[in-house]
Amino acid sequence: MSTTTKSPRKVLVVALRVAQRRLPAYRHRFSPQKFTQHQLFACLVLKTFMQTDYRGITAHLEDCPDLRRAIGLSHVPHYTTLHKAFRNLLRLDIAQRLLEGTVRLVHKRKPIDLVAVDSTGLEAGHVSKYFVRRKHPRKPGEYEQTHYRRWPKLSISTDCDRHQILSVITTRGPSPDVNMFKDVVTPAVRKYRIGHLLADAGYDSEANHRFARERYHVRTTIPAKRGRSIAVPLRGKYRRQMQVRFPKKRYGQRWQVETVFSMIKRNFGEAVYARSYWSQCREMMLMVLTHNIAVVLLVKELFYRAYLTPLFPPGTSPLINLSFVC
């Protein structure tokens, strides 16, 4: 399992570098220009990394001048400023550019041998499971069962070797995975050279095999267990191959995507606290970006340089001095 950093300073520095490479300093030439988009994005990543809210991260920055100096902040932004930045910087088009920036720090133009696809559900708010289980017991020893009808759903494709997320789709569940295969895979196969794609039986479909193999020339391994008994001969060309010659050893690496989900939920929590649908999508996207930035083994060289090299030598601007960034 990849190790994630526990240093808030390193997270701030790398988040700033990613934003500097992918975003302009300011949204508009007539903006107040008190803070750059790069600094605000770094503060949002730190908020998710420390599992706090907007008021909490502003208080933390107020108490830690070293963190402010690390990203060139002369004063702490108001919590409402960070909330507005959350709405502006986590839009789908901007978030996709930032996600690609985190991947390019490591992969650059190198091919990715093995990629796994899967989805998971998150809690919609912080509700005690004990309270939900114990409320209104009908009889001694029996409990009323409470079920949630809708929940935030996160679908990703991840590099099995380095546990880095390549593409993201944020929706609400429950919903079938088979219909999300193309939406999740397309951003990854268009931007990166992928050798082999793994997915569980929830994505089993002849159309999904053809989409990846014939259109993008990516090998796929998906168990052919959807819809009918495994003993019945299947009609599709690729599903029949899965039925006859299934690569068990190769497919054994699919669990790496489960490791990524475990890392996200353990490090950043398993609940999103936003109320509206789009805010929940932005919050899940921010968790994914924070995960990619926090995987130390993937960006250890960048962390090493950022830690030893002065971030902003005297007389330079925080927006310059990018020579040491990979």
Per residue in 9-23, pLDDT (tens digit) is 989 999 999 999 999
Least confident of 190-204, 209-223, 227-241: 227-241
Whether cis (ω within 30° of 0) applies to the bond prior to 174 is yes
For 133, the 3-state DSSP assignment is helix
Please say if the pLDDT value at position 61 is more than 90. Answer: yes
Q: Is the pLDDT of residue 280 over 50?
A: yes
pLDDT at 325: 40
- 125-161 pLDDT, tens per residue? 766 666 555 555 556 666 666 666 788 999 999 999 8
Q: What is the pLDDT of residues 247-265, one digit of tens each?
A: 999 999 999 999 999 999 9
- How does the average pLDDT of the chain come out, rounded? 85
Residue 240 above 70 pLDDT? yes
CATH tag, 109-260: 3.30.420
pTM for the model: 0.85
The contacts of residue 65 (CB under 8 Å, 6+ apart) are: none
Is the per-residue pLDDT at 233 higher than 80? no
Candidates 33, 30, 13; CA nearest to 74 is: 33
The bridge status of strand 219-221 relative to strand 194-199 is parallel
Q: What is the mean pLDDT of residues 100-117?
A: 88
> What pLDDT, on a 0 to 100 scale, did the predictor assign at position 297?
45
Domain spans of the chain, in order of start: 8-89+296-308, 109-260
The letter for the amino acid at 153 is K
Mean pLDDT to the nearest integer, 227-247: 80
68-78 pLDDT, tens digit each: 999 999 999 99
Q: DSSP states of 82-126 as a string?
A: HHHHHHHHTSHHHHHHHHHHHHHTT-TT--EEEEEEEEEE-EES-
- Mapped onto helix, strand or coil, the DSSP state of residue 172 is strand
